Chain A
Amino acid sequence: MATREEILDKVRATLVDALGVDDDEVTEAATLVDDLGAESIDFLDIVFRLEKNFSIKIPRGELFPENLAADSSFVKDGKVTAEGLAALRTKMPHADIDSLASDPRVENIQSLFTVKMMVNFIAAKLG
């Protein structure tokens, strides 16, 4: 079984290829959008590469769910509601929902997409 360090190394290589970033920019805490400059199409590219590099199948929407704020009961006054947070915990067990809960503004949802979240997801997949 791959260690967490080995998974991180492969995730790092994947992001270097997909986003054209430098190795040292890809820390576990780095967010894909704000820190590494990922755009919408990059998420599909990253999923393609992860599937190839780890020889796994990633059902669409599992690693990077879309339309997270689409349900009207999940967002109120620009903030993610308790109901929304609960849904996110179910949908994204690999993400750090606690940090979002501490500042649940809608624009912080994309900060859930971190390198660490990807490593958690792959580690769980590889079991």
Chain B
Amino acid sequence: MRWFWIDRFTEFESGKKAKAVKNVTLAEEHLHDHFPGFAVMPGSLMIEGMAQTGGILLGEVNQFEHIVILAKVPKVTFHGWVVPGDQIVYTATLINAEVEGGSVEVTAHVGDRLVAEAEIMFVHLDQKDSQFGAINQKNFVFSMNLLGILEVGRAGDGTSTPST
């Protein structure tokens, strides 16, 4: 399984706001254990989706010059279930972007229903940093491989999303 917890960006306003969707499907293995007989999208993976949406928004500010790492989730509230068949819309707003990192506020909606909201803080890491080698690079969800989501953000009819 690939560690992508958003399927496509639908809006991307550089340095300000990004919107991404995640379609939840019963084919996802983890939903068979979470929970047996009651499939519900794990909150932790929704945080990951919110972090991927917000992390790419932050990373793009510096043209992905830094590796963006989820450092802290100061606040998160879950308001309801997300189940197979739902489409989650993550909307991230950039609060601040500094040299060392930055923060975003993200909401998750299914239709008009607010299902979760969070504030997420990231730090920047560069290859020259001494801690770089100590970190498992598979955890770098915001490095170049996830950028494909921006490039392949096309609807089935070939129209480009996000529209730029």
Contacts and interface: CB of A to CB of B under 8 A. Distances in A.
A24 to B, nearest CB: 20
A45 B96 contact: no
Interface in A32-60: 41-42, 44-45, 48, 51-52, 60
B74 interface: yes
A52 B97 CA distance: 12
A48 B74 contact: no
Contacts of B33: none
B72 A48 contact: no
A20 interface: yes
A85 interface: no
- By secondary structure, the B interface counts as strand
Interface string A94-106: 0000000000000
A20 B74 contact: yes
A44 B96 contact: no
A106 B103 CA distance: 33
B154 to A, nearest CB: 36
Contacts of B98: 48
A6 interface: no
Contacts of A52: 95-96
B56 interface: no
B123 interface: yes
Given A41-B121, A41-B123, A48 B103 contact: yes
A18 interface: yes
B130 to A, nearest CB: 12
Contacts of A51: 96
Interface in B79-105: 95-96, 98, 100-103
A36 B71 CA distance: 19
A48 B96 contact: yes
A17 interface: yes
Contact of A17 (B74, B101, B102): B74
Contacts of A42: 72
Interface string A48-79: 10011000000010000000000000000000
B72 A45 contact: yes
B74 A44 contact: no
A48 B98 CA distance: 8
Contact of A44 (B75, B95, B101): B101
Given A51-B96, A52-B96, 11 more contacts: A41-B121, A41-B123, A44-B71, A44-B100, A44-B101, A45-B72, A45-B103, A45-B121, A48-B98, A52-B95, A60-B100
9 contacts: A17-B74, A17-B75, A41-B71, A42-B72, A44-B71, A44-B100, A48-B96, A52-B95, A60-B100
Q: Which 5 A-B pairs have the closest CB atoms?
A: A41-B71, A41-B72, A45-B121, A48-B96, A44-B100
